[in-house]
């Protein structure tokens, strides 16, 4: 009968190495999450003096007097942005940015890819008819239906109809790229803050690098609103 391999000379050392790799890998995975929860970015504190973009170029929801300001830079083609919007952003805005809410939420379109400009322009066109957030959520929710489309504007016009917008005005807006400059401003503002990836989230001027899930963000908001953060 053949001798079972792996139990001969060096077998114990091999399994010890396996154990070391498992423990080290596990610790590294845990540590990677735990490091640098927030990163101070001084430019946010002087946001009124941007290089070329404008803080007001973002779409805002919530009171100016809210104790918490959350700034979100997102790309409609970014899967993590879609996930963040679906699992955190949408619910947080719903629960914290309504009347008397503790969060002023400002969303900045930050196109990373050439194909990301069309949806960003469409969202801004919807904003002209006070439907930015509805279009924002719809663009994320239906990304699989427009991302492969050679002319996604046709789809966006259908979405506009679904949302009850003046589809003629909306179509004219997206096809004429009338809001291109506004998107350029939101992108430029992000660049001036050092944003280079999405989603990038700032919580009262501090960049949030982890716990972007609903529970983590809600806990942070509640603590800030209670004045204990």
Partner 1 sequence: MSGETRLRAVALLALVGVFISLYLLLYHLGYYGQLVCGTGSCDTVQTSEYSRFVGAPVPLWGTVWYVGVAMLAILGLGPWGDHPWARGLLAAAVTGGLLFSVYLTALELLVIHAVCMWCVISAVLTVLIFLLVRPWRAVRGAPRAAS
**Residues near partner 1, by CB under 8 A:** 1-2, 4-6, 8, 10, 14, 17-18, 21-22, 25-26, 28-29, 32-33, 75, 77-80, 83-84, 87, 112, 147, 196-198, 201, 208-213
Structure tokens at 145: 């239906």
Closer residue to partner 1 in complex, CB, 6/43: 6
Closer residue to partner 1 in complex, CB, 75/182: 75
Decide: 121 and 177 in contact? Cβ < 8 Å. yes
Closer residue to partner 1 in complex, CB, 100/215: 215
Cα separation, 58 vs 74, whole angstroms: 11
* Nearest distance in Å: CB 212, partner 1: 6
Q: CA of 228: how far to CAs of 41, 208, 219, in Å?
A: 21, 17, 11
* Nearest distance in Å: CB 95, partner 1: 19
* Nearest distance in Å: CB 7, partner 1: 8
* Nearest distance in Å: CB 3, partner 1: 9
Decide: 65 and 100 in contact? Cβ < 8 Å. no
* Nearest distance in Å: CB 63, partner 1: 27
**Dihedral pair phi/psi, residue 59, rounded to 5°:** -90, 125
Decide: 191 and 53 in contact? Cβ < 8 Å. yes
Q: What kind and span of H or E run contains 81?
A: helix 79-84
Decide: 101 and 227 in contact? Cβ < 8 Å. no
* Nearest distance in Å: CB 34, partner 1: 10
Closer residue to partner 1 in complex, CB, 27/169: 27
Among the listed residues 54, 89, 51, the one whose alpha carbon sits nearest the alpha carbon of residue 70: 89
What's the chain's length in residues? 229
Closer residue to partner 1 in complex, CB, 33/154: 33
Closer residue to partner 1 in complex, CB, 83/177: 83
């Amino acid at each position: 009968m053949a001798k079972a391999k792996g139990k001969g000379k060096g077998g114990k050392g091999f399994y010890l190495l396996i154990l070391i790799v498992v423990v080290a890998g596990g610790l590294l995975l845990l540590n990677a999450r735990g490091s640098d929860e927030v990163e101070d970015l001084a430019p946010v504190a002087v946001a009124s003096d941007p290089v070329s973009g404008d803080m007001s170029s973002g779409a805002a929801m919530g009171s100016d007097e809210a104790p918490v300001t959350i700034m979100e830079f997102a790309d409609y083609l970014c899967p993590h942005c879609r996930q963040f919007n679906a699992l955190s952003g949408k619910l947080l805005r719903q629960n914290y940015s309504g009347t008397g809410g503790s969060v002023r939420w400002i969303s900045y379109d930050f196109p990373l890819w050439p194909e990301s400009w069309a949806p960003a322009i469409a969202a801004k066109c919807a904003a002209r008819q006070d439907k930015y957030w509805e279009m924002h959520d719809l663009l994320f929710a239906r990304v699989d239906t427009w991302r492969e489309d050679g002319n996604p504007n046709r789809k966006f016009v259908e979405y506009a109809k679904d949302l009850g917008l003046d589809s003629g005005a909306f179509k004219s807006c997206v096809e004429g790229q009338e809001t291109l400059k506004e998107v350029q401003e939101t992108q430029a503002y992000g660049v001036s803050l050092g944003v280079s990836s999405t989603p990038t989230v700032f919580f009262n001027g501090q960049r949030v690098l982890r716990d972007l899930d609903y529970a983590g963000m809600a806990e942070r908001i509640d603590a800030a609103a209670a004045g204990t953060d």
